[in-house]
Chains A and B, each alone.
Chain A
Amino acid sequence: MTKDTNVTVTTTEATDFDWLESRVSKLIEDEGPIDPAESLIYYGLDSLRVMKLAAELKERGITVSFEDLAKDPTLNAWSALIDARKNG
């Protein structure tokens, strides 16, 4: 299986709350539980990681800007934003 094939498999996963929580856990390099209402900045999320997530969502066909994510950096807010963009 080539790397490109792996990417294709990954992008067919549902972009749901569980996916988002898993991706954010990897981005902040913290395996502990994340309070979905708490700012992810306090978990060590920085601008570059937010930008990486925005780029990854774009790859998955969901257009959210850096600013969309940065202005309310919580799992709850991001999940609602992603759902709105998926349905919009």
Chain B
Amino acid sequence: MAKAQSAQNDWQVGLDQLRVALPACRIEMRSADYTSAPQSGGGRQRRAAQHDAGRLAAAAAGKGLTGLPCFAGRGPDGAPDWPKGLRGSISHCADRSVAMVGDAANWCGLGVDIEQHLTTQIAQEIAPVALTQRERVTFGADPLWVALIFSAKESLFKALSPLINRRFDFDAAELCADPKGAPHLRLTCDLAPDWPAGRMIKPLLIPCRAGVLTAVALPA
């Protein structure tokens, strides 16, 4: 119990930052119950427990927004299927699940993602696939930046893919600085008529003690 509380605290500062940045959204985190999963193996049981924790977090976030619990279904690709009038996103990392829910009148897409800190080895392994050439020149394979970029692109995918009804890959956007120096995701290709190459999208990048937390909120 103390360990679970500590893990929650390791995300808490980041969650609070995200809540301040997106006051119109509700963001909740829940821990997965792994008691039915074996100590070794048990990937399926852990995944099921993560799924349940994510849906509980979504229900709590929906209740915070509307006063009623929101029960997110599951689409054919496994992505959450949100009740009419709501937008949202769920992410899992180890035994933590986070959900972000907003009113569809305010947002046309919401994406949230949490990732554990990367080791130097894993950052070096995934950088050639997760980062564009320009990002590799700018950020190298720094574990924190690789984790933030990977996570931000996950958040972008969750927010934008349902909106434009198409999937896209990690090279469809790259992290850069806008003229004021603030980090932005720049689309590298035309994804849809309203989402052409060059369009800039502001992500929220929040390093936490437990890992990294990112979000993309696309206003309606």
Contact = CB atoms under 8 A, between A and B. Distances in A.
Interface in B109-160: 115, 122, 125-126, 128-130, 150, 154
Mostly, the B contact residues are: helix
A80 interface: no
A30 B126 contact: no
Contacts of A41: 47, 78
Given A28-B43, A51-B150, A39 B169 contact: no
B170 interface: yes
Contacts of A83: none
Interface in A6-54: 28-32, 39, 41-48, 51-52, 54
A42 B169 contact: no
A54 B169 CA distance: 12
A56 B126 CA distance: 8
B60 to A, nearest CB: 22
Contact-residue size bin, chain A (C-beta under 8 Å from the other chain): 20 to 34
Interface residues of B, number: 25
B72 to A, nearest CB: 16
B43 A43 contact: yes
Interface of A: 28-32, 39, 41-48, 51-52, 54-56, 58, 65-67, 70-71
Interface of B: 40-44, 46-48, 50, 78, 92, 115, 122, 125-126, 128-130, 150, 154, 167-171
Given A32-B44, A71-B167, 20 more contacts: A30-B41, A30-B44, A31-B40, A39-B78, A42-B44, A43-B44, A45-B43, A47-B150, A48-B115, A51-B150, A51-B170, A52-B122, A55-B128, A55-B129, A65-B129, A65-B169, A66-B129, A66-B169, A67-B169, A67-B170
